[in-house]
Structure 1
């Protein structure tokens, strides 16, 4: 029996209390499963953002069934003990509706603006893996002792003790990150790889079917017998004619309108009317295993018919 689909809204344009409450309630009413917030304190590349943890606590109070998540916290911005405390508290306040998304951090501009060292990718990724081990232990209610290269924990527990460990979500694009995510995460967000210069790759090759199949394979191999949910962030493009819509997307991304066929085959691109997009998602669940899609809040309303088509 395949996993059921889940759908999330990424609150990229939320700037106020009223906007947060409205977006959360509307997402819940439209049948979305999760509202997630990003973790940036510079305006680029998504505009100004509310601090995710307190904002999600407020969103929890404005909703009753909607799950709340971070997509994703930069590990370097918070010590894992403090993050575990915040996650346990937010899980308690939300009635167990919180999902903790964590990544290695990638935006060099942000680190530099805050006066934080932007360490080499290997160091940041190694620190994330240690953090995930600590978070899994603390949020499972265990007394945790840990001695690693980056963190040292001496017999701590977390309060409030979670009734159930919140799901861990890890975004990953590189070979090492995909392996770490497969070993430790409950949900893996498959992404284009982060580049050493502090940006995300815009290469077409990163988005082609063979590349995505390889990344999924790395996650599956690392996960072993664990049943890991596969996720992807997408910005669907709607139009009556899928090919014309794909050509429009290709031109807008700088890939050239002649790349329409490539766009039509990209697992991260969904183009056409809602019925066609739903069919694409079903086919890609069968081929790759993706069952959790997140869309920006700017297209929450337009994408809602797809949610309705796949809700059952």
Structure 2
């Protein structure tokens, strides 16, 4: 990418149409580039969520420039042909502002609540890769025929044909997933790895510079020279003194005060006043290539002063 920063807000506390419209308009006014919604039908761990595709169509109708995205859809919840149809329609209705984020699905409890089989990680990831190939072809406007282990498509096209393919966004934490993202996605969200039991790793090692650097290298190796955008979901902690704020974060995360120095260097942790956080983001763009950050909607107002420091 050209190094231009983008900022998104994750609308994870939106529970009504009025809150959705207010958040979308406010995000646009404050200079955010994207509103993204999660894809969960159980209350844990983020609280009840509106259905993302329908809600984003509504948000599109009350905004003019804000992009709308999913962060991220669970592939197993929708067949890729039907998802391509919905994505093409939402992109059309929003005037080309939709960004399709998709992942393999990770919450065992959610699958169980719906009576869906929670297949082994290798199976879910293999299904996602096939789905991405189908989505990419259909949304490129191609007549698509595909025969894989999990899906078969026979000579389909999608209507309405997108003027340009909506960007594909994949969140990934393991080497195989990062490779798939590097081969097929336009934006790659670097995450801690998902664990086989159906949770996300909270290990401190997953957040250290060497680990993140290695994950970025896996993406770039798989992308093979293709231009991709690197993304991360973050929760900055503001305070006048970066070191003292880092110590607070270390204790809050259960890593202990001794981890304060590690927190200061973690690519996913931003601490201090807005100016310091902007400097950290510039440094991490230079070191790793991250240019797209999403923050939770609870931080919509607090994070806004950082945006003009990096985009103005």
Compute the TM-score of the two structures, normalised by the length of structure 2. Answer: 0.99
Query: Which whole-Å CA distance do the structure 2 matches of 1:17 and 1:38 have between them?
Result: 15
Give the 5 Å matches for 1:14-25: 14-25=14-25
Query: Which whole-Å CA distance do the structure 2 matches of 1:187 and 1:210 have between them?
Result: 21
Deviation, structure 1 residue 247: 0.7
Q: After the TM superposition, list the runs of 4 or more consecutive aligned residues in structure 1 that deviate by more than 4 angstroms.
A: none
Residue 217 (1) aligns with residue 217 (2): yes
Query: Which whole-Å CA distance do the structure 2 matches of 1:272 and 1:61 have between them?
Result: 36
Give the 5 Å matches for 1:233-244: 233-244=233-244
2:198 equivalent in structure 1: 198
2:113 equivalent in structure 1: 113
Secondary structure in 2 aligned to 1:250?
helix
Deviation, structure 1 residue 257: 1.6
Query: Which whole-Å CA distance do the structure 2 matches of 1:245 and 1:85 have between them?
Result: 46
1:133 equivalent in structure 2: 133
Give the 5 Å matches for 1:26-175: 26-175=26-175
1:286 equivalent in structure 2: 286
1:6 equivalent in structure 2: 6
CA shift digits 1:215-268 (9 cap, x unpaired): 000000000120100000000000000011111111111111221001000000
CA shift digits 1:155-190 (9 cap, x unpaired): 000000111000000000000000000000000000
Query: Which whole-Å CA distance do the structure 2 matches of 1:148 and 1:72 have between them?
Result: 23
1:258 equivalent in structure 2: 258
CA shift digits 1:30-50 (9 cap, x unpaired): 000000000000001100000
Secondary structure in 1 aligned to 2:60?
helix
Secondary structure in 2 aligned to 1:161?
coil
Secondary structure in 1 aligned to 2:200?
coil
Secondary structure in 2 aligned to 1:63?
coil
Deviation, structure 1 residue 308: 1.3
Secondary structure in 1 aligned to 2:160?
coil
Query: Which whole-Å CA distance do the structure 2 matches of 1:278 and 1:62 have between them?
Result: 30
2:277 equivalent in structure 1: 277
Secondary structure in 2 aligned to 1:230?
strand
Deviation, structure 1 residue 2: 4.2
Query: Which whole-Å CA distance do the structure 2 matches of 1:2 and 1:266 have between them?
Result: 24
Query: Which whole-Å CA distance do the structure 2 matches of 1:235 and 1:12 have between them?
Result: 13
Deviation, structure 1 residue 311: 1.0
The verdict on how the C-alpha distance between 1:236 and 1:268 changes in structure 2, with shifts beyond 3 A counting, is same
Query: Which whole-Å CA distance do the structure 2 matches of 1:281 and 1:2 have between them?
Result: 15
Query: Which whole-Å CA distance do the structure 2 matches of 1:69 and 1:302 have between them?
Result: 22
Query: Which whole-Å CA distance do the structure 2 matches of 1:6 and 1:14 have between them?
Result: 22
CA RMSD of aligned residues (A): 0.7
**Structure 2: segments with no counterpart, 5+ residues:** none
CA shift digits 1:110-132 (9 cap, x unpaired): 00000000000000000000000
Aligned length: 312
